[in-house]
Chain A
Amino acid sequence: DQQVKQNSPSLSVQEGRISILNCDYTNSMFDYFLWYKKYPAEGPTFLISISSIKDKNEDGRFTVFLNKSAKHLSLHIVPSQPGDSAVYFCAASSAGGTSYGKLTFGQGTILTVHP
């Protein structure tokens, strides 16, 4: 039962253009969503997050959009840079109870930004 899904295994974009990475979830108890970037043999690096009370959060070149009714979130990177090439993971959590410390991850999307 995959509660967080990233349906695109890979994405290729040109430098300077927009990268849009998508994520769907099924568990309506999730109320906090995060995006991480990961290089091989390293731990994930936190990029940006959004609480379920919001529908948009911006941080520099990164914007996350949340559509609760569709159980969908997306990460926009504008403009894309070659250094953004990495695996991007969407993750979700819910407050308290049996969910302490638990992030549920998607399978990841490999982003390649071409110069």
Chain B
Amino acid sequence: KAGVTQTPRYLIKTRGQQVTLSCSPISGHRSVSWYQQTPGQGLQFLFEYFSETQRNKGNFPGRFSGRQFSNSRSEMNVSTLELGDSALYLCASSEGTTGGYTFGSGTRLTVV
């Protein structure tokens, strides 16, 4: 069974630009969550999608948004990038009930 796939692995963007990250969950998993990892703040929850609907959202500004497609693939978008958005962005998928989440390898975003 293929794991959670995130693309691209690395990305360099300039302040003010926008970026879109992609996540393909494990086959059959309908829940996709996104996390931001930074050295200072650790792993922080961004949002979760289930069957194309956002069910939960963390404490991030509106510049961070996402969506989920009918095949459960998810995208995350960050607009008007700031230097502080430099981080490892992780996607996790699960079947949708409480339980374990399988993480992808992440996308390393660097904003210059």
Contact = CB atoms under 8 A, between A and B. Distances in A.
B106 A41 contact: yes
A34 B100 CA distance: 7
B33 to A, nearest CB: 4
Contacts, number: 74
Interface residues of B, number: 31
Interface string B72-112: 00000000000000001010101000111111111010000
A6 B100 CA distance: 20
B4 A102 contact: no
Interface stretch (A12-20, A42-50, A69-77, A78-86): A42-50
A49 to B, nearest CB: 6
A104 interface: yes
A93 B98 contact: yes
Contact of A95 (B45, B56, B98, B104): B98
Interface of B, secondary structure class, is strand
A43 B103 contact: yes
B99 A32 contact: yes
Interface of B: 4, 6, 31-33, 35, 42-45, 47-50, 55-56, 58, 88, 90, 92, 94, 98-106, 108
30 contacts: A32-B98, A36-B103, A41-B105, A41-B108, A43-B92, A43-B103, A43-B104, A43-B106, A46-B100, A49-B100, A89-B43, A91-B43, A93-B98, A94-B98, A95-B98, A96-B98, A100-B48, A100-B55, A101-B45, A101-B50, A101-B94, A101-B101, A102-B48, A102-B56, A103-B45, A103-B92, A105-B43, A105-B44, A107-B42, A108-B42
Interface of A: 31-32, 34, 36, 41-46, 49, 89, 91, 93-96, 98-108
Going nearest first, the 10 A-B pairs with the smallest beta carbon separation are A101-B48, A43-B103, A100-B55, A101-B33, A105-B43, A100-B56, A102-B45, A95-B98, A44-B103, A43-B105
